[in-house]
Structure 1
Amino acid sequence: MKVGIVCPYSFDVPGGVQFHVRDLAEHLIGLGHDVSVLAPADSETELPDYVTSAGRATAVRYNGSVARLNFGPVTASKVGRWLEAGEFDVLHLHEPVTPSVSVLALMAADGPIVATFHTSMLRSRTMQTAYPIIRPSLEKIAGRIAVSEDARRTVTTHVGGDAVVIPNGVYVDRFADAPRRAAWMGSPAAPTIAFLGRMGEPRKGLPVLAAALPAVLRAVPGLRVLVAGPGDPEEVTEGWPPEVVAACTFLGSVSDADKASLLASVDVYVAPNTGGESFGIILIEAMSAGACVLASDISAFSRVLDGGAAGAMFANEQPDDLARVLVDLLGHAPRRAELAEAGQRRARLFDWSVVAGQILAVYETVIEGRAAASWEPPHRWNRFLRGGAR
C-alpha cells in the first residue's frame, strides 16, 4: 500500500504529533508498506529518508502552546508536487483544521482520505472562524480518527460528524527494556521523581509541582527532582524557595534513549499537566518503562490511567493534594510496585502492534469504500465516502 502522511507541525521541534507520525510511518514501513511523510522542517534539519520537507515553519501560539506551522502559496506548490509524485492509495492527514500543510493537502487532494484529530479544545475561535472556509474540503475526509474521547468531542463540537477513537501508539518494549541509570535511581532515604516537558509552558504543570515541593521536602528531605525538557532553569525557578531549587537537577532536552532510561530509573513519574491534553503519551511511555505514575486528574489522563487503577492521581492544579499523594507514594514501596505493574499491563493496549493494526483497518475500509462508491449509480449518496466519487 502506498501511504502519504501529512504532519502539520515542524519536525525541527519534538512534539507528540511529530512522534506519532514518525513512529506510525516507521511501523508501516517495517510491515512492507511504501510510506512518504510531508512535514515542515528547516533546511538544516536532518530528516529520515521517508520525510519530504514542506519548507521552514513559523512559530504560532495555538491551543495554549507554541506550534511551528507552515502555510502559504509556496508551501501549497510543494504540497501539490508531493501529492502528484506520490500517487498514494490513501492520504492520512493529521490535524486537518490546523492552518498548515494538512489543510493545504486536504484542499488539493482527491481520493481516499483519512484524518486524525489530536487536539482537545471544547471552545476554539480559530476553529469557528476557519470552519466555513474549509468545510467543503472537510467533506472529502472519508475516515476520521480521534486519539481520545476528548479529541473526539472536539470533532463533534467543531467539525461535525463523528470519529473512531484510536489512541496514540508507543513502542512498549523500547521503554520496558530500557536500562536503569544509577545516577537517576533513588534510595529509601533519597528517592527520585521525574518531570518531563517544556518547563516554561504553564499547562505542563511545573509551577504546580514546584508549589507542592516544600511540603514534600519537609516529609522527605532527601528527595531529588529530575527535570527534563527545554527551557531556561534560571528563568523558570525565579521566585522558587531555595530548598526547592536545590532539590532539582535540570537535565535539559534528552534523547529518546535517555528519556526511556530516566522513566525506568525513578521512583515516581509526576505529570502535573493542567489541561489542553487530548491523550497523554508520556504517561504510556512511563508506564511502559515500569515507572509508578502520578498524574493530575484531567479527563485525558484519567482515561489513560483507567480511572486510577494504573496510576495514582491528584486534584488538578492543587499543590496540596499533589504533595499529599506524592508523600504517600514515596513512603509505600509496595503501593508503588502495585501501580507500576498495573501500568505495564495497561500499556500493552497502546503498543504500535495494536494501534497500527487499527489504523490499517481504517485505511482498508476507506480504500474499499472509495472503490465501491465508483460503481454506484449516479447521484446515489454514500454515507461514509462523503468526498468520494459520485
Structure 2
Amino acid sequence: MRIAIVTESFLPTLNGVTTSVCRVLDCLREAGHDALVIAPAPAPATYRDFPVRTVRGVTLRQFRVGLPSYELEGVLARFSPDVVHAASPFGLGARGLAAARNLGIPSVAVYQTDMPSYLKQHGGPLGAPVERAAWRWIRHFHTLADLTLAPSTQTLQELSAHGVPRTALWRRGVDAESYSPERRNDPEVADLRSMLAPRGETIVGYVGRLAPEKECHRLAEVANLPGVSLCLVGDGPTRSALEQLLPRANFLGYRSGLPLAHAYAALDVFVHTGTKETFGQTLQEAMAAGLPVVAPAAGGPLDIVKPGVTGLLFDPEQPGSLRQAVGGLVADPAMRARMGASGRGKVETRSWKTLTAELLEFYGSVINPAWAPGIRVA
C-alpha cells in the first residue's frame, strides 16, 4: 500500500503527534509498505528511507506549524498514494485533506490534539469565541475526510457533539519493551532513585510537556505530602513558574529514549494532571513500566485508567481530590504493587505493530468500503 502522511508536526520537533507518526512509519517499513511524509520545515530529508517533503513553517508558542500550501496537489499527484493520512490536522493537514478530495484520493484524518481547548486557554477574553470558531473549522475540514479516527470514546462523543461525521475509535500503541518494570534493575535507575529519594521517600512523578494546558500547577496538592519526593520530567514554557510554585520538586528536564524509560522506572506513583487530553499516552507508558497511575476523571484517561484496578481517578473540580488519591497510594505499597501489575497486564499487548495493523484496516475501509466490513463507523 502507498500512504501519504501529512502531519502537523515532525522531527526534529518532539511531541505526541511526532511520536505517533514515527511509530506508524516504523511499522509500515517493517511490513513492506511505501510511504511519503509531508511536514513543516525544517525536517530530515528521509525517515526510515521514506522521503520527507517539507513546506514552509512558522513557530508559534514553541510549536513548529506548517503553512498550508497549494503545492500539495502536485506532491500527492506525483506520489500517487492509495490513501492520504492527515495526522492531527488543523492547518497543513486540513490543506492535505482538501488536496486529497480534489484529486479523488481516499483520506483518513487522525484527531489527536484538542486544539479548540488549547486556543480557548490561550485566547484571553476572546477565548470562548475563538474556541467556537475552531470547532467550526474542524467540522468543515473533517467533512473532507472519508474517515476520522479518535483515540478515546470521550473524544468520539465530543466530535459527534460538534457535528463531525464518519468517526471511529483508534487508540495509541505503547513500547512495552522500553517501558518495563524490568528497568528497575538497571544501575542507572538505582542511581536516579538515590538522587530523588535519599531518605527512602516515595517518588511521585509527572512526565510531559510543562505548559499551561497540562495543568501541572495541580501538583502543588501533593508536593508537601509527608514522605513524598516529587519529580517532573519534561520541559516547556511554564517550567520557570513551576519551579517557583514547587521549590522542593526535582525537575529532570526533557528526556527521551532510554533515559526516559529509566525515569519512569525510578518512580513509585505516576500522576497525570491535564483535563483536556484526547488520550493520555504517558499514562500508557507509566502503566507499561508497572506503575499505578492517578489521573483526572475527564477526557482520554477515562478510557485508560480502571479505578481501583490500574490506578485512581480524581475529581478535577474538587480541591484536595488529587492529594487524597496520591496519599492513599503512598500509604499502601501493596496496593501500588497490585495496581502496577494490573496496569502492565492491560497495556503490554498494545504494541504499535498491532495498532498499525488496525490502521491499515481503516485505510482499506476507505479505499474499498467493502474490504473491511467489520469496521464500525459512527
Is the TM-score greater than 0.5? Answer: yes
CA distance in 2, matches of 1:196, 1:149: 23
Q: CA deviation at 1:84?
A: 2.3
CA distance in 2, matches of 1:294, 1:4: 37
- Is the 1:25–1:37 Cα contact (8 Å) retained in structure 2? no
The aligned runs of 1:21-36 (5 Å cut-off) are 21-36=21-36
TM superposition score normalised by structure 2: 0.82
Q: CA deviation at 1:158?
A: 3.0
The aligned runs of 1:27-66 (5 Å cut-off) are 27-42=27-42, 48=47, 49-50=49-50, 52-60=52-60
Q: CA deviation at 1:188?
A: 8.0
**CA deviation vs aligned residue, 1:225-253 (integer Å, no higher than 9, x gap):** 2211113787224653xxx513x221111
CA distance in 2, matches of 1:237, 1:369: 50
**CA deviation vs aligned residue, 1:300-341 (integer Å, no higher than 9, x gap):** 212111344211222215552222222221221110001101
- Is the 2:45–2:53 Cα contact (8 Å) retained in structure 1? no
Q: Does 1:202 align with 2:205?
A: no
Q: Does 1:15 align with 2:12?
A: no
Greater C-alpha radius of gyration: 1
**CA deviation vs aligned residue, 1:50-97 (integer Å, no higher than 9, x gap):** 251423432346xxxx6432124xx332x234312321111111234x
Seen in structure 2, the aligned counterparts of structure 1 residues 68 and 276 have a Cα distance that, compared at 3 Å, is farther
- Aligned partner of residue 174 in structure 1, secondary structure: coil
The percentage of counterpart residues that share the same residue type is: 24
Q: Which runs of 5+ in 2 are unaligned?
A: 118-127
Q: CA deviation at 1:174?
A: 2.2
- Is the 1:194–1:226 Cα contact (8 Å) retained in structure 2? yes
Give the aligned partner of residue 156 of structure 2.
152
CA distance in 2, matches of 1:342, 1:371: 36
Q: CA deviation at 1:151?
A: 2.3
Q: Which runs of 5+ in 1 are unaligned?
A: 373-383, 386-390
Q: CA deviation at 1:367?
A: 1.8
CA distance in 2, matches of 1:191, 1:252: 20
CA distance in 2, matches of 1:36, 1:9: 14
Give the aligned partner of residue 375 of structure 1.
none
- Aligned partner of residue 173 in structure 1, secondary structure: coil
- Is the 1:284–1:350 Cα contact (8 Å) retained in structure 2? no
Give the aligned partner of residue 73 of structure 2.
80
Q: CA deviation at 1:203?
A: 2.8
Q: CA deviation at 1:182?
A: 1.0
Q: CA deviation at 1:9?
A: 2.5
Q: CA RMSD in A?
A: 2.9
Q: Does 1:143 align with 2:152?
A: no
Seen in structure 2, the aligned counterparts of structure 1 residues 152 and 344 have a Cα distance that, compared at 3 Å, is same
Equivalent residue pairs, number: 350
- Is the 2:234–2:253 Cα contact (8 Å) retained in structure 1? yes
The letter for the 2-side match of 1:113 is: S
**CA deviation vs aligned residue, 1:329-374 (integer Å, no higher than 9, x gap):** 12211100011011011113532233122111111222223999xx
- Aligned partner of residue 148 in structure 2, secondary structure: strand
- Is the 1:114–1:363 Cα contact (8 Å) retained in structure 2? yes
